[in-house]
Amino acid sequence: MRAAAAPHDILGSMLQSDGEDRATAFALAAARGDRKALAAFVAETQRDVWRFLAHLTDPTQADDLTQETFLRAMTSIARFEGRSNGRVWLLSIARRVVVDQIRSAVARPRSAPGADPGLAPVVRRREVAEHGAQVELSLVKMLLEDLAPERREALVLTQMLGLSYAEAAAVCDCPVGTVRSRVARAREDLVEASREQSGDAVRGAG
């Protein structure tokens, strides 16, 4: 991975090539009842699904949500016809899992009784400071968390998972132009936030 001078530069270096054709081929074979193809489809896509969910929610929930995503995918894989590539189809399911999780969490408190809801970001920032080698990547994570959800989603899909704007639009169920706009604004937000972070660091050092 190419070294980056600023958090928003790190994002660009996180682009990855993917096996979209392989994922689709595996999904189509799995739809015909091929169990080995189903296992291969899971192996091919599991990492991207986890990363997507971790950025939309948080890593502590990503494992359970990933499992739920694949459970749903397995119950509907027989209906997959290849109209979109396999990874886009699966990420669309993952997105619905997140929406359902958010809806179910609305009526219940997210913090344990007596817990200080403000402690989590404080602890997170302390951990960043204590792990020098991870400072920039942790800062990127924090900056992403501060983005509006729809902008973060579009940025993660296109800039970190490598989907095209059209594929991301299919996942998000919105026009391609909307995805482009969200990504552009997310980049602007990240640049501005990283500048503010840098300014705070300089002032703190002074």
pLDDT at 108 over 80: no
Question: In this predicted structure, what is the pLDDT of residue 57?
Answer: 85
For residue 34, what are the CA distances in angstroms to 31, 38, 70, 136?
7, 6, 16, 43
Q: Exposed/middle/buried for 118, CB within 10 Å: 0-12, 13-18, 19+?
A: exposed
Specify the residue for token string 């682009």: 15
Confidence of residue 123 (pLDDT cuts 50, 70, 90): very low
Question: In this predicted structure, what is the pLDDT of residue 122?
Answer: 46
Cα–Cα distance measured from residue 170 to residue 52, given in angstroms and rounded to the nearest whole number: 15
pTM of the model: 0.68
Confidence of residue 89 (pLDDT cuts 50, 70, 90): very high
pLDDT tens figures, 124-147: 544 444 444 344 445 566 677 888
Question: Three-state DSSP class for 57?
Answer: coil
pLDDT tens figures, 36-84: 999 999 999 999 999 999 988 888 899 999 999 999 999 999 999 999 8
pLDDT at 101 over 80: yes
pLDDT at 15 over 60: no
Confidence of residue 194 (pLDDT cuts 50, 70, 90): confident
CATH entry 1.10.1740.10 includes domain 7-110+121-205: yes
Question: In this predicted structure, what is the pLDDT of residue 73?
Answer: 96
Cα–Cα distance measured from residue 85 to residue 147, given in angstroms and rounded to the nearest whole number: 28
Question: Three-state DSSP class for 159?
Answer: helix
Cα–Cα distance measured from residue 70 to residue 44, given in angstroms and rounded to the nearest whole number: 12
pLDDT at 191 over 90: no
Q: Which whole number is the average pLDDT over 23-36? A: 95
pLDDT at 198 over 90: no
Cα–Cα distance measured from residue 14 to residue 98, given in angstroms and rounded to the nearest whole number: 23
Q: Exposed/middle/buried for 185, CB within 10 Å: 0-12, 13-18, 19+?
A: middle
φ/ψ region of 15 (left if φ > 0, alpha if ψ in -120 to 50, else beta) reads: beta
Specify the residue for token string 């027989």: 78
pLDDT tens figures, 150-180: 999 999 999 889 899 999 999 999 999 999 9
